[in-house]
Amino acid sequence: MTITQTLLKYYRNRRWPNIPLARGVIPNTQQGVINDAKAGIALASVNIPQVLGYTSIAGTPIVTGLYTVLLPLLGFALFGASRHLVVAADSATAAIFANGLSGMATPASAAYMNLVAIVALLTAGILLIARWLKLGFVADFLSRTILTGFLAGVGLQVSIAMLAPLLGIRNQTHQTHTTWSQLDYAITHLPSINLPTLCLGITVIAAILIGKQINPRFPVAMIAVLTSILAGKYLAIANWGIALIGPVPGGLPQLSWPDMTWHGTLTLIPLALSCAVIIIAQSAATARIYALQFQETEDENANILGLAAANAAAAVSGAFVVNGSPTQTAMAVQAGAQSQVAQIVFAGIVAIALMFLTDWLAYLPHAVLAAIVFTIAIGMIHGSALKAIYQESPGEFKLAIITAMTVALVGVEQGLLFAALLSLLHHVSHSYNPHCAILQANMEGNLVTQAIEPGATTQAGLIIYHFGADLFYANEHRFSADIHSLISQAATPVQCLIIDASAMTHIDYSAAQSLRQLDDQLQQQNITLLFARCDSALIDDLNRHHITEKIGAAHIFTTLHAALKYWSDACKTDARREKTP
């Protein structure tokens, strides 16, 4: 038995109380571990430079970017459930806490880093509470339409953010966090383009895109990183105006607990709460995207626990708040990662880089990093998926576009929350304005739903009305208006109205009031009211709201056949009465 097989066997059933461990790693195979290890190496080659770039947004020393992909990665791999989600530095949360802390301490100072650690620790605590409350259900409000739009929006956002370094426009003192400001900065500084930088960026982009067409597994990005580092060191390309990353301090992080006071901690809770909300929403969206892609089940609550562990690890290891990153997850998937083994290998390479390779990272050009990230970003805009949504559901296509533009131009957090709200409103609109019809006999004599037209009846004296949703306060007026219109415009006097309740499972208090009022009005017109195709949940509601008592239990049926038989028997009885002298 190999070492890998022994470890897998040992950890397969390891549990803390009610907490399965390493679900993003296990089950696995020896070949799967080998493939993921290769993917982890490829991921490290393109992602190490990227996380260094997030420190300019976070306002922290550049080495802290590497710290975010060390212990936090291991924390999520141990306690999380997603096999694909990469938890690391992220621009959305970095911008949130940087804006909140910038007025409290000088960025990158010891006092600032202590506040950063407190925010990360508070965020971890809030995430633990969210796990206890099982708030992972928020992912259920993220439809495939939203996820497609979300990913496209992030891709657009990140690609615009890469314009300045791709064009060789220096952005050392002017921090731009929003997409609008980044786009404006790139456009207004076009005269400052550095042509060697632009040529280098275009060359790397072209090489990556062509390489994907020829052999998607060939590590073009890794080769670009290695060759550009050698060029930066031995060809002195910095003399051509090509910006390099610069010195990166080495060594593993020192573990320490932040210096916390009661008053200061309370002050930072709203900031940590904002970070936690974004982390839950964005991580859930990203994990759900790749779970759907690989047809895997997701445990969002376990992922929240993993995110809490990752942020706790960040707090004590000199890093800052970490999040499930759409861009870095896309990088991992494109590198061939199939489990968190790739992220564990990535963390191992980061540890090696911190101890031995930071001197070499200083020679990496910003343009190469920007080119790699740019190709990942445009790959997140799935044109074929958007086209399919447009062809099948134009209304949902609009929702996807609104989501994408809101995420890209306003912010990830606003885009996700706004899209979820729009999805709910879109769903409610169908209940507010449901499909309603009248049942009429077709050529074969079977009752089928037909569009409501003036004067339509099911047969002389009878109307069977189908209402295609639950009855509640927002649509009760439509329900009553339809019925009154059908009765008043009927070609012959209506004697019986049957409500086909096959689509109803619930009636709220307002709708119950309207039903009782409708029954009074029908009785005044000598019209019998019957309910057909009622399931047990609807019957419970009719009983609770005393509607059964009002219209009579004999007028409520579980099948349409029974309701029609009742109506037929009533007609025969009336006919016999008319014949009796």
- At residue 581, the pLDDT reads 52
- At residue 501, the pLDDT reads 93
Q: Is 373 a residue whose pLDDT tops 80?
A: no
Q: Is 172 a residue whose pLDDT tops 50?
A: no
| pLDDT class of 19 with cuts at 50, 70, 90 | low
Contact (Cβ atoms closer than 8 angstroms) between residue 348 and residue 36: no
For residues 152 and 396, give the distance between their C-alpha atoms in angstroms, rounded to a whole number. Answer: 15
Q: What is the 3-state secondary structure (H, E, C) of 11-40?
A: HCCCEECCEECCCCCCCCCHHHHHHHHHHH
For residues 342 and 331, give the distance between their C-alpha atoms in angstroms, rounded to a whole number. Answer: 11
| pLDDT class of 525 with cuts at 50, 70, 90 | very high
Tokens 């017109």 belong to residue: 525
- At residue 79, the pLDDT reads 92
Contact (Cβ atoms closer than 8 angstroms) between residue 176 and residue 162: no
Q: Which two tokens stand for residue 227?
A: 């060759």
**Which superfamily does 434-579 belong to?**
STAS domain (3.30.750.24)
- At residue 30, the pLDDT reads 81
Which of 57-66, 79-88, 570-579 has the lowest average pLDDT?
570-579
Quick: pLDDT tens for 338-350. Answer: 889 999 999 999 9
Q: What is the three-class DSSP state of 41? A: helix
Contact (Cβ atoms closer than 8 angstroms) between residue 289 and residue 13: no
Q: Which two tokens stand for residue 10?
A: 């040992």
Distance of CA 476 to the CA centre of its chain: 33
Q: Which two tokens stand for residue 580?
A: 């009796």
The residues pairing with 441 across neighbouring beta strands, listed in sequence order, are 447
* String of DSSP letters for 108-173: TSHHHHHHHHHHHHHHHHHHHHHHHTTGGGGGGG--HHHHHHHHHHHHHHHHHHTHHHHHT---SS
For residues 302 and 306, give the distance between their C-alpha atoms in angstroms, rounded to a whole number. Answer: 6
**Cα atoms in the Cβ-side hemisphere of radius 13 Å centred on 470:** 17
Which of 20-29, 240-249, 389-398, 557-566 has the lowest average pLDDT?
20-29
For residues 415 and 405, give the distance between their C-alpha atoms in angstroms, rounded to a whole number. Answer: 8
pTM of the model: 0.67
Per DSSP (E only), the strands in 22-150 are 87-88
- At residue 412, the pLDDT reads 67
> Going by C-beta distance under 8 Å and a sequence separation of 6 or more, which residues neighbour residue 216?
334
Quick: pLDDT tens for 188-211. Answer: 888 888 899 999 999 999 998 898
Q: Order across the sheet with 447-450: list the strands.
A: 447-450, 436-441, 462-467, 496-500, 528-532
Q: Which two tokens stand for residue 419?
A: 């899209």
Span 396-412, average pLDDT: 83
Span 508-528, average pLDDT: 92
Task: Give me the percent of the chain exceeding a pLDDT of 70.
Answer: 92
- At residue 465, the pLDDT reads 94
Tokens 């009211």 belong to residue: 529
For residues 69 and 429, give the distance between their C-alpha atoms in angstroms, rounded to a whole number. Answer: 44
- At residue 447, the pLDDT reads 86
Quick: pLDDT tens for 480-489. Answer: 999 999 999 9
Quick: pLDDT tens for 310-336. Answer: 999 999 999 999 999 887 888 888 888
The domain locations on the chain are 3-426, 434-579
Quick: pLDDT tens for 218-234. Answer: 778 778 888 998 999 89
Q: Specify the higher pLDDT residue, 283 or 46.
A: 283
End-to-end CA distance of the chain: 99
Alpha helices in 434-508 (DSSP H): 476-489
Q: Which two tokens stand for residue 89?
A: 């530095």
For residues 277 and 417, give the distance between their C-alpha atoms in angstroms, rounded to a whole number. Answer: 10
Phi-psi region of 463 (alpha: psi -120 to 50; beta: other; left: phi over 0): beta
Per DSSP (E only), the strands in 92-187 are none
Quick: pLDDT tens for 69-124. Answer: 999 999 999 999 899 999 988 877 777 787 778 778 888 888 999 999 999 999 99
Q: Which one, of 460, 545, 557, 558, lies nearest residue 511 by Cα?
A: 545
Average pLDDT, the chain: 84
The residues pairing with 529 across neighbouring beta strands, listed in sequence order, are 497
Q: Which one, of 376, 341, 241, lies nearest residue 25 by Cα?
A: 341
Q: Which two tokens stand for residue 551?
A: 């219209």
For residues 220 and 157, give the distance between their C-alpha atoms in angstroms, rounded to a whole number. Answer: 24
Quick: pLDDT tens for 426-457. Answer: 777 777 888 888 998 888 778 888 888 888 88
Q: Is 173 a residue whose pLDDT tops 60?
A: no
Residue 455 neighbours by CB distance under 10 Å? 9
Q: Is 1 a residue whose pLDDT tops 50?
A: no
- In terms of DSSP bridges, do strands 447-450 and 436-441 run parallel, antiparallel, or are they unpaired? antiparallel
Which of 34-48, 188-202, 519-533 has the lowest average pLDDT?
34-48
Contact (Cβ atoms closer than 8 angstroms) between residue 311 and residue 124: yes
- At residue 547, the pLDDT reads 92
- At residue 453, the pLDDT reads 85
Helix (DSSP H) and strand (DSSP E) numbers for the chain: 26, 9
Span 353-380, average pLDDT: 84
| pLDDT class of 17 with cuts at 50, 70, 90 | very low
